[in-house]
């Protein structure tokens, strides 16, 4: 999969900018605040229909009425156009100029893997961040999963509204709660099963891969922690009292978590910052390999300020890995001075200055 051309209109600090890209490694260089991360964010938004940093409205350039991201994508020997239009009222996703009725039908048209500074909190951060991280990749690989997740969230909202009403009643009627709880259990089951299977696949790809970016050959594993026990409906019903008391559903896929283990030890308690960084990078590359195997195409790899998070040895191991993988990679950085000339000869280099992107180097 290759992002061949992208045009930004009123996105962040870009008024109108078009960039043509190649098939290999790209460096987007510039000082902080010039817009290089905004450019990377635009690709993320185009692929996943939301930002990893902020709300939709903030993406619109100051005093503009809309923001628009347009791109031409090459996949499986065919070209197609993607567009994402963002307004104060919402957003529209288009494929070949045809508006998509549901975002779940759109997500996955441009598959990405991203390494972001925000990911550094993944292992020690909140369960919500970990759920979002894995949902992003699972949703790109399995469109049915996004539909299942949407159904679950709809029933969950209904159930929580009912719980709020019941908490105010002296004699709450549990008949309707039984019905909605049964619906919630049925909606939860495919999500739980998809997550279990997905993490099994992830661990298969992680096996012996930690050493790609580390001198140590330690086992790296992720465990999925469902917040409900089977049978799911029976478990939900056993929590009626606490749910009614707290006015919300306390258990279910929206409360699941994941734990990271390095050398059979819980990483959030014992892994150093450098080890956690290496684990996340290894995980991202495993995700890229999974996508390639599943769809017979590399995803587009986005690396935001990755070199500030990695030492010189890991930087070069990563570059070598990307070169071997032959995936289109877009890397933002403030400097390329430590990148070898052999790499730069085969890379495309662009400089961002105040919302304008200019190519500095083309194949040496």
pLDDT tens profile 168-222: 887 777 899 999 999 999 999 999 999 999 999 999 999 888 988 888 889 999 9
Q: What is the CATH number of the domain that holds 63?
A: 3.40.50.300
159 and 93 part of one domain:
no
322 and 175 part of one domain:
no
263 and 125 part of one domain:
yes
Q: How would residue 360 be classed by pLDDT, with cut points 50, 70 and 90?
A: confident
Whether the pTM exceeds 0.85: the reply is yes
Q: Among the three residues 259, 294, 329, which one is the final residue of a domain in this structure?
A: 294
94 and 138 part of one domain:
no
266 and 180 part of one domain:
yes
Q: Residue 76: its pLDDT value, please?
A: 86
d(CA 204, CA 222): 10
Classify each residue of 156-188 as buried b or exposed e, where b means 16 or more C-beta atoms within 10 Å of its C-beta.
beebeebbeebeeeeebeeeebeebbebbbebb
Number of domains the chain contains: 2
Q: Residue 361: its pLDDT value, please?
A: 58
161 and 281 part of one domain:
yes
Q: Residue 159: its pLDDT value, please?
A: 97
Alpha carbon 301 to its chain's center:
11
Mean pLDDT of the chain, nearest integer: 93
Q: Residue 364: its pLDDT value, please?
A: 46
Q: Region 59-70: what's the mean pLDDT?
A: 96
Strand, helix or coil for residue 331: strand
Q: What range does the domain containing 306 cover?
A: 1-111+297-364
Q: Which H or E run includes 80?
A: strand 78-87
Q: Among the three residues 294, 314, 338, which one is the final residue of a domain in this structure?
A: 294
Q: What is the CATH number of the domain that holds 233?
A: 1.20.1050.90
133 and 277 part of one domain:
yes
Q: Residue 339: its pLDDT value, please?
A: 83
107 and 50 part of one domain:
yes
pLDDT tens profile 65-118: 999 999 999 998 899 999 999 999 999 999 999 999 999 899 999 999 999 988
Q: Which H or E run includes 91?
A: strand 90-95
Q: Region 215-242: what's the mean pLDDT?
A: 95
289 and 320 part of one domain:
no
Residues 6+ apart with CB under 8 A from 58: 51
Q: Which of 21-30, 301-310, 324-333 has the lowest mean pLDDT?
A: 301-310
d(CA 252, CA 235): 10
83 and 17 part of one domain:
yes
Q: Among the three residues 260, 275, 294, which one is the final residue of a domain in this structure?
A: 294
129 and 251 part of one domain:
yes
d(CA 192, CA 344): 44
306 and 286 part of one domain:
no
Residues 6+ apart with CB under 8 A from 258: 127, 130, 131, 134, 199, 222, 223, 224, 225
């Amino acid at each position: 999969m290759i992002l061949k051309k992208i045009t930004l209109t009123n996105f962040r600090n870009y008024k109108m900018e078009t960039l043509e890209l190649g098939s290999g490694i790209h460096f987007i260089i510039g000082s902080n605040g010039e817009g290089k991360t905004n450019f990377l964010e635009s690709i993320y938004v185009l692929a996943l229909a939301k930002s990893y940093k902020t709300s939709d409205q903030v993406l619109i350039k100051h005093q503009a009425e809309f923001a628009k991201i347009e791109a031409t994508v090459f996949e499986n020997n065919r070209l197609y156009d993607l567009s994402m239009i963002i307004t104060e009222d919402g957003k529209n996703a288009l494929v070949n100029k045809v508006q998509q009725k549901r975002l779940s039908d759109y997500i996955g048209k441009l598959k990405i893997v991203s390494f972001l500074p925000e990911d550094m909190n993944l292992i020690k951060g909140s369960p919500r961040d970990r759920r979002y991280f894995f949902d992003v990749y699972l949703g790109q690989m399995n469109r049915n999963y996004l539909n299942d997740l949407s159904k679950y969230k709809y029933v969950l909202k209904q159930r929580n509204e009912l719980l709020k009403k019941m908490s105010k009643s002296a004699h709450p009627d549990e008949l309707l709660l039984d019905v909605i709880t049964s619906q919630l259990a049925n909606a939860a089951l495919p999500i739980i099963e998809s997550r279990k299977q997905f993490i099994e696949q992830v661990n298969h790809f992680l096996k012996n891969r930690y050493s790609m970016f580390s001198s140590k050959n330690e086992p790296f594993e992720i465990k999925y922690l469902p917040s409900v026990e089977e049978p799911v409906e029976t478990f939900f019903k056993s929590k009626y009292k606490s749910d009614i008391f707290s006015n919300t559903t306390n258990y279910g896929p929206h409360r699941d978590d994941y734990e990271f283990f390095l050398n059979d030890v819980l990483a959030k308690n014992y892994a150093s910052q450098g080890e956690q960084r290496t684990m996340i990078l290894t995980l991202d590359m495993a995700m890229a390999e999974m996508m390639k195997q599943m769809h017979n195409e590399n995803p587009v790899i986005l690396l935001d300020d990755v070199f500030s998070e990695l030492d010189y040895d890991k930087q070069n191991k990563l570059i070598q890995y990307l070169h071997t993988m032959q995936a289109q990679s877009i890397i933002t950085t403030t400097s390329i001075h430590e990148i070898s000339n052999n790499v730069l000869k085969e890379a495309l280099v662009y400089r961002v200055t105040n919302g304008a992107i200019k190519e500095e180097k083309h194949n040496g």
